[in-house]
Amino acid sequence: MTDVFDRLKAALCDRYAIEREIGSGGMATVYLAEDLKHKRKVAVKVLRPELAAALGPERFLKEIEIAAGLTHPHILPLHDSGESDGFLFYVMPYIEGESLRDKLAREGELPIPDAVKILREVVDALAHAHDNNVVHRDIKPDNVMLSGRHALVTDFGVAKAVTEATGRQELTTAGVALGTPAYMAPEQAAADPHIDHRADIYAVGALAYELLTGRPPFTGTTQQEILAAHVTKAAEPVTKYRDSVPAALEQLVLKCLEKKAADRWQTAEELLPQLEALATPSGGVTPTGMVPVKGARSWKKSLYALVGVVAAVAIGFGAFTMIGGGGDSLNLERVAVAPFVNRTGDPEFDTYGRWTATTITQGLQRAGIGEVVPSSIVDRFLQEVGDLTGDAVSQMAELTGAGIVVTGVLYLAGDSLELSGEVVDAIAGDVLYALETVTGPEDGSREMLTEMARRVAGALASHFGFGMEFGFDPTTFNPPANPEAFREYAQGLDMFLHNQQASLPHFHRAHELDSNYAAPLVYVGTVHLNAHRYAVADSFFSIARLMLDRMTPVERAQLDYLTAQLQEDAELAYRMSLGVKETEPYASGPYLACLSAYHTNRLYEALEHCNDIDMSLPGNRQWGGSWGVPTAAHHMLGDYEAEYDFVREGLAEQPDRRSFRNIEVRALIGLGRIDEALDRIDALSNLRSPGHLGYYLRQAAAEFRAHGHLDAAERMFERTIDWYRGIPPEELDRWRRSFAIALRDAGRWEEAAVEYRTLVERAPDDPNLLGPLGVIAAARGDLERAAEINGQLAGMDRPYLFGRNTLWRARIAAMLGERDEAVRLLRQAFSEREWYGIWLHRDIYLESLHGYEPYEQLLRSRE
């Protein structure tokens, strides 16, 4: 063994410093090593010599190259592979966690919510791999790592590479197991050469069975006995070993374990929503840390995500990005539906006109006919410009950039209501289709809307070449059953943009009037999300996933993004943001992709996505994020000139906006133009705009310090603290957290500790209050207290921490001079939520890391 270890160290010494063996399995021995080029810890997996000799390097490396192309938040990536001195090896990140096997060995059966969460993430990884024609073939607890609160599937494609390279042979050769008997599908046990992805589905069933019962579905004294059981025996009910397992979950597991592949779930994509449903109160399982929402069971089949606001609110903004064009840039593939004009003489029918447009829009989106402008975007325009007057087609085209506009009017004819509509080429001004009038009862009906939507869809299907045989009903979603429900929803939507809490009664009322009307309830969830009531929001979005088959592609992408925001997985959120941009490239999609790229330290990509935001449009120019994210990216890249030029454009639009002036100050400090920066800071106090002045003064002080202007920083901290102390006592309590931050950033440890102890009494489990006390203790040399608080932060194990506790642990470590530990914790914090970007750049508590290469690497863009 010593000879083998020494040979391996010598063979890989130019790339990896092998430290020690950390595990072994049927196919490989695992070593902890340092990647010499990238200065990071890695796991080097070396195939057993007898297996390596049987394979040969060429075919193995060719097969494993396929797996190396997989990129997914729940797949442990493959860094490297190769052959040296007879060793076949592959390299993966070293994960400081434990395998699912270790967890099962320690705990036995898992809590049902935990089991469902792990299974959902494993199946999500499989869905991505299968989509790329990679079958794992060896799903088992040993190949699932637990890092933080998430599961990572390892060795993707390795078993496939081995079996493909060796061809069809005995399942064990020279003591090497190709696949693991306890989790092998019957077709694997029978050495069927035509194994496909459904073998992985079977293995998921075996894995689930063990997570829930503490034992695999089949056991025996020999491998052959276990393999025979997979082929010949039916699995016993899960509830035989654990009667608390819900019936739906048991049925899901047993369907995975069907002997014939055709009788199982056919794809991971099919299985994934079943697990999503089981992870909700209505599915019978309450995930760890989730609070069942009152009345959730009565909401079955009643959640329906709409586009626009949903994307924006996930990042705390209550506005839409805008789209548009002008005659020369109108897109004949883009369709906008204007609210039908009320010509009845009764203002009550104004809402019916909006309802009609929404119904038509949703039908077109479901059908995939053209590039449809979401109705929520149209509504937002109308709030900005008022009702359409005069030439509605030209106005709608100008606002949305749509080359095709659907318009219509409502009339009363005796005791009947009539809907009349047209499909217009906005560029040529020609009517493409004059739609047959729809007539119905005087008070209107859903059936009338559905019929008009069908006629529009049919006309546009023909226009875009779908043909009349397209074979779908574009209006199979459920609009509200009565106009009063839509009226309440519309009022809630209007209110949402200005006062989110006040919108809740309208959304709830809309649902009460029509329990099958789902859209208002998703907005209820987003209100809770923005109010940091994460468990409630998580419940809403999880339940909404039950309705995926009733959503448009845009809506599904939006819901994926919203859900990812709550999963403490920055990479997943970024991937979902790209899906939003792909399905909605003309509205909020580019901004969300820009923001998510920035939050994963992809600064160049962020700027590329930001460039896709059309800044010529008034709505986008007024959207703070359109300016804030790209300027922050420029600052982190050290391109202060670009940052300054960009924000000056924004100030030309909104010269009195305090947040824009704050960015200008930041850019000037970066450029070293200190006197100008101080002048701009003086001007900030004279502006009347959102945000209290102390916040901006404190940011300026930290920025001065980050760029080495220590005297200016000290003076600015003094000015900040004086500002807070000048606030009337009854007002100061409102800003007490911010005042405490100013004191601690200024190094006034004693005064800051007094403030934080008071705040911690009010919220003892808030890491943003407890963490500063740890930093203060470290700064004062109180090592015992610092260690105590670090332990409290490490012991926080609940959802929705978003890495905040880990970030504070990193700061404590940095203050104590423990640089390696600080960087390790920073990496962990970023993986749990997001890269902290501009805040990291000026974080006072990480100053001991400046110049330390592993830390500097965290600051560099990933491109």
pLDDT digits (tens, 9 = 90+) for 541-586: 776 666 666 566 676 788 888 888 888 778 888 889 998 888 777 6
CA distance 666 to 566: 31
610 neighbors 598 (Cβ within 8 angstroms): no
Contacts of 435 (CB under 8 A, 6+ apart): 408, 420, 421, 422, 423, 452, 455, 456, 459
Element (H, E) at 29: strand 28-35
DSSP classification of residue 416:
E
Residue indicated by tokens 């009667």: 243
pLDDT over threshold 60, residue 301 = no
pTM, whole model, 2 decimals? 0.53
**pLDDT tier at 306 (50, 70, 90 boundaries)?**
very low
pLDDT at 389: 56
357 neighbors 364 (Cβ within 8 angstroms): no
Measure Cα distances from 181 to 30, 224, 856 in Å.
Answer: 21, 8, 46
Paired strand residues for 17: 34
pLDDT over threshold 90, residue 539 = no
Burial class (CB in 10 A: 0-12, 13-18, 19+), 25: middle
Comparing 88-102, 230-244, 296-310, 816-830, the range with the smallest average pLDDT is 296-310
pLDDT over threshold 90, residue 780 = yes
pLDDT digits (tens, 9 = 90+) for 660-698: 888 999 999 999 999 999 999 988 777 654 457 888 899
| Phi-psi label, residue 437: left if phi above 0, alpha if psi -120 to 50, beta otherwise | beta
Contacts of 623 (CB under 8 A, 6+ apart): 317, 319, 321, 591
Q: What is the mean pLDDT of residues 87-95?
A: 83
pLDDT over threshold 80, residue 412 = yes
Element (H, E) at 455: helix 446-463
Higher pLDDT, 511 or 309: 511
Largest CA distance in the chain: 98
- Please give the CATH number for the structural domain made up of 321-469: 3.40.50.10610
CA distance 818 to 823: 9
DSSP classification of residue 281:
G
Paired strand residues for 47: 28
Does domain 2-93 correspond to CATH entry 3.40.47.10?
no
Paired strand residues for 87: 84
In terms of Cα–Cα distance, which of 480, 478, 460 is closest to 368? 460
pLDDT at 775: 96
CA distance 826 to 806: 7
pLDDT over threshold 70, residue 495 = yes
Q: What is the mean pLDDT of residues 628-645?
A: 92
Measure Cα distances from 540 to 287, 300, 322, 722 in Å.
Answer: 13, 11, 27, 44
To the nearest 10 degrees (0 to 180), the angle between helices 553-565 and 570-583 is 160
Q: Rounded to the nearest 5 degrees, what angle is found at the Cα of 257, between the Cα atoms of 252 and 258?
A: 100
pLDDT over threshold 80, residue 281 = no
The top-scoring range by mean pLDDT among 307-321, 433-447, 640-654, 836-850 is: 640-654
Q: What is the mean pLDDT of residues 41-45?
A: 86
Burial class (CB in 10 A: 0-12, 13-18, 19+), 719: middle
Taken as a whole, the chain contains a residue count of 863
pLDDT at 462: 63
In terms of Cα–Cα distance, which of 733, 716, 720 is closest to 694? 720
pLDDT at 414: 84
pLDDT digits (tens, 9 = 90+) for 386-410: 566 557 788 788 778 889 999 999 9
Which regions of the chain carry the CATH code 3.30.200.20? 2-93
Q: What is the mean pLDDT of residues 8-19?
A: 87
Measure Cα distances from 661 to 634, 666, 667, 671, 838 in Å.
Answer: 16, 9, 10, 15, 16
pLDDT at 162: 63
Question: Nearest 5°: phi and psi at 428?
Answer: -85, -20
Residue 180, CB half-sphere, CA atoms under 13 Å: how many? Answer: 21
State the sign of the Cα–Cα–Cα–Cα dihedral 581, 585, 591, 594: positive
pLDDT over threshold 90, residue 537 = no
Burial class (CB in 10 A: 0-12, 13-18, 19+), 737: middle
In the numeric block, which tokens belong to residue 277?
A: 């449903």
Residue indicated by tokens 């626009």: 308
Measure Cα distances from 526 to 523, 650, 766 in Å.
Answer: 5, 29, 22
pLDDT at 658: 82
One CATH from 1.25.40, 1.20.950, 1.20.140, 1.10.10 for 631-731: 1.25.40
Which regions of the chain carry the CATH code 3.40.50.10610? 321-469
pLDDT at 381: 64
Q: 670-675, long-range: CB within 8 Å, 24+ apart, which pairs?
A: 670/635, 670/638, 670/640, 670/643, 670/703, 670/707, 671/640, 671/641, 671/644, 672/707, 674/704, 674/709, 674/712
CA distance 847 to 835: 17
Higher pLDDT, 859 or 309: 859
Per DSSP, helices labelled H in 12-157 are: 49-55, 57-68, 100-107, 112-131
CA distance 475 to 456: 11
150 neighbors 144 (Cβ within 8 angstroms): no
Measure Cα distances from 131 to 74, 86, 459 in Å.
Answer: 15, 34, 35
Q: Which CATH architecture has domain 98-283?
A: Orthogonal Bundle (1.10)
Higher pLDDT, 845 or 544: 845
Q: What is the mean pLDDT of residues 694-713?
A: 93
**pLDDT tier at 434 (50, 70, 90 boundaries)?**
confident
Burial class (CB in 10 A: 0-12, 13-18, 19+), 138: buried
42 neighbors 35 (Cβ within 8 angstroms): yes
Q: What is the mean pLDDT of residues 731-756?
A: 90
> How many other C-beta atoms lie within 10 A of the C-beta of residue 680?
19
pLDDT over threshold 60, residue 482 = no
Which regions of the chain carry the CATH code 1.25.40? 301-319+516-611, 631-731, 747-863
756 neighbors 772 (Cβ within 8 angstroms): yes
> What mean pLDDT is reported for the chain?
79
CA distance 750 to 484: 59
pLDDT at 307: 30
- Please give the CATH number for the structural domain made up of 301-319+516-611: 1.25.40
Question: Nearest 5°: phi and psi at 84?
Answer: -155, 125
DSSP classification of residue 733:
G
560 neighbors 583 (Cβ within 8 angstroms): no
Q: Are strands 416-425 and 430-434 parallel, antiparallel or unpaired?
A: antiparallel
Contacts of 725 (CB under 8 A, 6+ apart): 732
pLDDT over threshold 70, residue 514 = no
One CATH from 1.10.3210, 3.30.1370, 1.25.40, 1.10.10 for 747-863: 1.25.40
CA distance 473 to 458: 10
**pLDDT tier at 700 (50, 70, 90 boundaries)?**
very high
CA distance 552 to 476: 11
pLDDT over threshold 70, residue 450 = yes
Which regions of the chain carry the CATH code 1.10.510.10? 98-283
345 neighbors 442 (Cβ within 8 angstroms): no
pLDDT at 145: 87
79 neighbors 91 (Cβ within 8 angstroms): yes
CA distance 493 to 491: 5
pLDDT at 549: 60
Comparing 508-512, 721-725, 762-766, 813-817, the range with the smallest average pLDDT is 508-512
**pLDDT tier at 280 (50, 70, 90 boundaries)?**
very low
pLDDT at 478: 42
pLDDT at 369: 73
Higher pLDDT, 72 or 167: 72
